[in-house]
């Protein structure tokens, strides 16, 4: 039975359990630094979803000052700039009156443990550091940086056998693209190994909480679209990705959550997940998924796709130039 159908069947049967929750919890307990740990969704604090709400009750998440974890190798290098977000509850999803609303975006309460989110999308320079340390390995017979047939690559190869990776001049601060979902997860595992902290892709809930930055409006800044804040399809001629941080940060100091490039999240995409997801730290994770979630909209998209509540998915291999990612970190 397909994973999404199996989860819905169990939810209707009254179990209200995320598929693999016990296995994920056991995996987390047995994991060590450098192995992608997933504990989200292992605790279920209610029997079912909370629907048609107006405002989350209880403490709301708030953001702190940015920080960067130092690498443990004595090199003086640090990981990506991160924004800490305190534990709290927020309303996830969109109002039916929002332009482009889909029933897959139904509003519901979510409680999140403390975490940190990347202040920017991961850049070509940051991803090259990872590739030069680990190599461009293959999973499912596809390299992590899947640039073999790209006409205008943003990362070039140098040295014997082309084993050294360097950003193309002028693209050092652009978000890395042509990266597979598995490659993005591998980068997060490498960060975990290098810093001694637990990094991974953000869950859908973590991503949306950071994108909303405390707001419950259609866009983080209000109910009306503001083209000056977003790299969308009419921002540049021709449409193209821009260096990270080119647009103003949201209220929590996080950049480019809306527009620029779509971003991989940890979740397998299930359009019905909101109907039975747990209240606390929800995630729909399937290691072997072929269609993981993406969030945020991109530089070719119209305004209805560039909203914090929009949910979409894509083939795990990614595309040529419009899907990147940022990382999250457990605790702070």
Instruction: Provide the pLDDT for residue 150.
Output: 86
In this structure, which topology does domain 3-330 adopt according to CATH? 3.90.1580
Per-residue pLDDT of 133-164, as tens digits, reads: 999 999 999 999 998 888 889 999 999 888 89
Rounded Cα–Cα distance for residues 326 and 27 (Å):
23
Is residue 71 over pLDDT 70?
yes
Domain boundaries, the chain: 3-330
Helical (H) or strand (E) element with 194: helix 181-195
Is residue 244 over pLDDT 70?
yes
Rounded Cα–Cα distance for residues 36 and 193 (Å):
10
Instruction: Provide the pLDDT for residue 219.
Output: 95
The residue with tokens 């960067």 is 68
pLDDT band at 57 (very low <50, low <70, confident <90, very high): low
Contact 281, 206 (CB under 8 A): no
What one-character-per-residue DSSP string does 267-283 give?
Answer: EEP-TTGGGT--SBS--
Enumerate residues 6+ apart whose C-beta is below 8 A from 31.
37
* Model confidence pTM above 0.75: yes
Rounded Cα–Cα distance for residues 255 and 156 (Å):
26
Q: How many CB atoms lie within 10 A of CB 138?
A: 13
- Please tell me whether the peptide bond between 16 and the residue prior to it is cis, using omega within 30 degrees of 0: no
Helical (H) or strand (E) element with 133: helix 124-134
Rounded Cα–Cα distance for residues 221 and 217 (Å):
7
Instruction: Provide the pLDDT for residue 149.
Output: 82
By three-state DSSP, how is residue 11 classified?
Answer: helix
Is residue 38 over pLDDT 90?
no
| DSSP letter (8 states) at residue 69 | P
Per-residue pLDDT of 157-194, as tens digits, reads: 999 888 899 999 999 999 999 999 999 999 999 999 99
Helical (H) or strand (E) element with 129: helix 124-134
């Amino acid at each position: 039975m397909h994973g999404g159908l199996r989860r819905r069947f169990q939810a209707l049967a009254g179990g209200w359990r995320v598929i693999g929750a016990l296995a994920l919890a056991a995996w987390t307990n047995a994991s060590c630094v450098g192995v992608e740990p997933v504990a989200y969704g292992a605790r279920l604090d209610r029997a079912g979803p909370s629907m048609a709400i107006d405002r989350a009750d209880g403490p709301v998440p708030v953001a702190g000052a940015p920080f960067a974890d130092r690498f443990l190798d004595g090199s003086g290098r640090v990981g990506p700039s991160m924004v800490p977000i305190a534990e709290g509850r927020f309303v996830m999803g969109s109002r039916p009156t929002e332009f482009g609303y889909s029933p897959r975006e139904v509003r519901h309460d979510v409680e999140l443990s403390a975490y940190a989110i990347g202040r920017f999308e991961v850049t070509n320079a940051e991803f090259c550091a990872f590739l030069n340390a680990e190599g461009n390995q293959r999973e499912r017979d596809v390299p992590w940086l899947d640039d073999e047939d790209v006409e205008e690559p943003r990362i070039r190869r140098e040295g014997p056998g082309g084993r050294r990776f360097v950003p193309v001049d002028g693209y050092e601060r652009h978000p890395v693209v042509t990266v597979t979902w598995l490659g993005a997860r591998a980068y997060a595992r490498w960060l975990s190994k290098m810093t001694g902290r637990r990094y991974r892709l953000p869950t859908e809930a973590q991503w949306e909480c950071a994108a909303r930055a405390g707001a419950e409006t259609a866009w983080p800044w209000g109910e009306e679209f503001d083209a000056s804040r977003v790299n969308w399809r009419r921002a540049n001629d021709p449409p193209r990705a821009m260096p990270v941080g080119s647009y103003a940060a949201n209220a929590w100091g996080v950049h480019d959550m809306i527009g620029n490039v779509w971003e991989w999240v940890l979740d397998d995409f299930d359009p019905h997940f909101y109907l039975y997801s747990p209240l606390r730290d929800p995630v729909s994770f399937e290691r072997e998924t072929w269609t993981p979630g993406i969030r945020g909209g991109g530089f070719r998209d119209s305004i209805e796709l560039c909203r914090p509540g929009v949910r979409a998915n894509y083939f795990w291999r990614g595309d040529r130039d419009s899907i990147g990612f940022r990382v999250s970190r457990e605790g702070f």
